[in-house]
Each structure stands twice: as structure tokens, then as C-alpha cells.
Structure 1
């Protein structure tokens, strides 16, 4: 079995060595096809990439699997999705995955994945659990995954991208990543694979998902576009704007636009976001959608006065 891992990279030399080592340290009965697609970084990323290339070429790195093919490109691109598709077009593996340049695999991850794909021969997508960690790598929470349910995917991100792996066959059959998307390309891919192939959750920690100021997940510069794109993908695939996703977008918009004291007050922010959600949901769904009744539960109401990070990581307000 050959597992192709793509790492899109741009000016994240601070984390890149840890990411690379987490891939090439993997042990087991499989081969690794590793491609790093750098967007022309201006920091020390290229030196780091070349360093590991030299180690592997000179056989100075202890290889604990059947073999490692290490390739890289450094040139300007049109963003992360474009970089990923460059990598996947070059990939030689039976199994595909991507690992961002600030995330890592845990020891034993690829061995677990290879074994699971051998057992679940008809599965198009496998995914496990992941720790959230901070800039220093300290664990600050857990990504909330669940057994795969396509309908549930409409209202919750139950598949963790750095802990997800999919067959080349499934990826190719659904047309790969949508290059028009810059934030929700993974979410969009899970939906399209889930509609045509069996998907399976592995209840085991496979990766770390790093949260920091420049991360697309929490960066104030990209949060609005990220949430709006995810909402758009949901509406396109499910014909529905779930309250949870509308509230996420509204809370981010309100936090960015409410003046001074109001923006810093959780109660005021929750009230403004709730009012915005009600109006926007009625407009987007042309009335109240019956599926939203399932989302009016205690757990979701408890999230109203919690920050995005607290909701993601499971922290207490």
C-alpha cells in the first residue's frame, strides 16, 4: 500500500519541520509518497524542505516503513486548494491525505490507517480523532468527531481534516477538490465522497490540529469568509441553511462590527447574533426549516455565550 500525503506550505517555517518529521517517522507495512507544495515562501521554509530532502537522499534518516518518496515544489500558486491539487495530480498512492504545514500526525497513524483500509475494502473515506494544540504544541482540546452521517454533516463538522484519509478512486470519482473554494474544500469533499462511498470513523487519536493567530480556522482576517463559504457549501449540497451554521456566521459578523463595549460583552454579542440568526435563517430558508427543530437543543443553547475557541476545543466559558 502506498499512502500519498500532500503538505501545502507557505511561510510556516516555525512549524514545518515538526510536520515533516511526523510524516517521515511513521512506521509500518506501507510506503509513503510525500509531496510538499510550497507557495514560494519567503521565510526559512525552503531551507527546511531541502534539509529533509538531503537527509533522505543521503540515507541519513532512519526509514521505518517500506520506503519514502520525498518530492517538493516551490513556486507561486493560487492558494491552498490550488497547491493541493498540484500535489494530488502528482501523487502515486492508493490512499490520499493532506497535512497542513502546522499540523502533525501522531506516531502509528499511517499504520492504523493502512490496516483500516485493508479491513474496510469498500470504504472511500476513513477519519479518526485529533487533539487541538496551541502554538507551542500543548494540547488544548479535542476535535469533536462522530460516526459518519451525511445528514449530520450538514450542521456539524464531524470529520477532522488532518485525521482524514481517502482512496484515490473515491477522490478521482468525485472530481477532486473544488478549486473555487479556499476554506471549505475539505468539507465539500467529505460531502461528495459521502454521497457515493462508504465512510468510516476510527475511534483513535491520529493527528494534532494547531490553532494559532494566522490559522485559517481562527484568524480574524479570514473568519468571515471561512464561515460564509462553509454556509454556502451547505446550502448548495443540502438546500438548507442550518441554524448552527447561520449562527456561526452571524456571531463572527457581529463580533467584527459591534462597537466597543458591545463587541466585548458575551451577552450582548449572543443577543445580537441570535437576532441576526433568526432573521437571516428565515430569509435563507424562506421560512422556518423543519430540520432546525433538531438543533434547538440544550447543547446548542449552551454555546450561545461561549467563544469560538471554547466551542471548538470543549473549554469552559
Structure 2
């Protein structure tokens, strides 16, 4: 079972060496590592040139989703895992992933746990949901970073390319569809670390609900239309929805329930 490790990169010279080394340190050795760089202007290219095992390109692109799609087209593995250039795996992660597929042959996606390195402080993330129904109403914590999940190649073939216009929520967009069309399983092993330093892209998101909500509504409309009114209502009264209309509806509901 060959693993394709796919890394989108742009001006990641500060971190990418550690990401690459975390793949080289794996106890499981049947893998390939592909890096698609967006023509970085820092030391990223110099770092990539040091590793002869890498398959990599550096050219202008339309953001992270575009780079991820390019990397997928280049891969030859049976199972896919994305590794952002500022994150890293733990040494036995690949062996755990492969063992999980062999132990659960009907599983299409394996979701594990991860640690979040929040400016040097480690915080465990072990309560990710694998329910598409929960994801569709933005309930529970979805897997926060692709370092914690891996899936069979046919999953991405079925779901399709990551939408280039979803610059901040391509992972939520993908997981919602992947969990709906395929079978995920949850394991309790910690697979890697999501580095959150206050400067990377995730750090600038101030209202994740507002950018996830349109994705949830479009998914319900196209894939589960009979469920759309339920999803619309649940998102309307969601505790993270701060719109005036939402506040009005919540107030009415509270008065009725008194």
C-alpha cells in the first residue's frame, strides 16, 4: 500500500525542512513525497533542492487549493495524505495509518488525533467528528488539519478537485463530501502536529462559521435537498450565528418556550 504525501507550499522556508524530515523519519517506507510550490521568494527552493527523493515543482498558482490539485494529479499512491509545509508527522504515523486500513478493509478514510502547537504550547485535539450530518450543521469539531487523516485515492477522485475559490475552507468542503460519500473511521492515535504560530493562514480566520455556512447550505441544497430546510434552520439558530435576523429568531423561540 503506497502512500502519497502531498505538500502545497509558498514561502515556507521557515518550516518545510521539519515537514520533509518528518516524512523521512517514518518507520513505514512505501511512500512518495510531492511538493507543489507557488514560486516562493524565500529560502524554500533552496531547501527543496537538498532532498533528492522529493518530486517537486515551483511555479505560479492560484493559491493552496490549486497547488493541492496539481499535487494530486502527480501522485501514484494508493492512499493520500496532505502535509502542509508548516506541519509535521510523528514517526510511526504512516504505519498506524496503513495498519488501520488493513484492520478495517471497508474503511475509506482514517481519522486520528493531532496536537496543536499554539506558539509553542501543545494542545491535544482528539474529539473530531466523522459524521457528515454533524459537519452539515457545523456541529462538533471537524478534523482540524490534514495531518490527522488519510484516505483512499478513489475518495478524491469521486469528490473532485478542491475549489480554488475556497481559500480558507477547502478542508471543510472536502470532508463534508468525503464523509457523505465514503466510510470514515476514527482511531485514537496521535498522527502529527498542526503548527499554529499566529502568522500562518489559519491564524487570520476570525469567523470560521461565516465562511463555512455557505458551503454547508450549498451541500445540503445539491446533495440532500429534503434536508435543506432542517440545515437552514439549524444554521440560523446556531450559537455562532451573530446576524440580526438570527438573534431575532432566537429571541422569538425563547419567548415561545417560556
Which TM-score tier does this pair reach, normalised by the shorter chain? 0.7 to 0.9
Could you say what secondary structure the match of 1:110 adopts?
helix
**Which residue of structure 2 aligns with residue 9 of structure 1?**
9
Question: TM-score when scaled to structure 1?
Answer: 0.69
**Which residue of structure 1 aligns with residue 122 of structure 2?**
140
CA distance in 1, matches of 2:143, 2:111: 7
Pair 1:91-2:75 in alignment = yes
Pair 1:229-2:211 in alignment = yes
Matches within 5 A, 1:175-190: 175-190=160-175
**Which residue of structure 2 aligns with residue 103 of structure 1?**
87
Number of aligned pairs?
239
CA distance in 1, matches of 2:48, 2:104: 34
What are structure 2's unaligned runs of at least 5 residues? 221-227
**Which residue of structure 1 aligns with residue 224 of structure 2?**
none
8 A contact 1:5–1:98 mirrored in 2: yes
**Which residue of structure 1 aligns with residue 203 of structure 2?**
218
CA deviation string 1:257-316 (max 9, x = no partner): xxxxxxxxxxxxxxxxxxx34x24368xxx56xxx99xxxxxxxxxxxxxxxxxxxxxxx
**Which residue of structure 1 aligns with residue 132 of structure 2?**
150
**Which residue of structure 1 aligns with residue 106 of structure 2?**
122
CA distance in 2, matches of 1:212, 1:15: 11
Q: Which has the higher contact order (CA 8 A, sep 6+)?
A: 2
What are structure 1's unaligned runs of at least 5 residues? 57-69, 251-275, 294-317
8 A contact 1:27–1:108 mirrored in 2: yes
- Summarize the Cα distance change of 1:25–1:145 in structure 2 as closer, same or farther, 3 Å threshold: same
CA deviation string 1:141-185 (max 9, x = no partner): 122433522222232333232211111011101223233311111
8 A contact 1:26–1:108 mirrored in 2: yes
Could you say what secondary structure the match of 1:122 adopts?
coil
Across the aligned residues of Structure 1 and Structure 2, the Cα RMSD in angstroms comes to: 2.5
* Displacement after TM superposition at 1:34 (Å): 0.6
CA distance in 1, matches of 2:83, 2:71: 12
**Which residue of structure 2 aligns with residue 25 of structure 1?**
25
Could you say what secondary structure the match of 2:70 adopts?
helix
CA distance in 2, matches of 1:147, 1:131: 16
- Summarize the Cα distance change of 1:76–1:223 in structure 2 as closer, same or farther, 3 Å threshold: farther
Question: TM-score when scaled to structure 2?
Answer: 0.84
* Displacement after TM superposition at 1:227 (Å): 4.3
* Displacement after TM superposition at 1:103 (Å): 0.6
* Displacement after TM superposition at 1:25 (Å): 1.2
- Summarize the Cα distance change of 1:280–1:40 in structure 2 as closer, same or farther, 3 Å threshold: farther
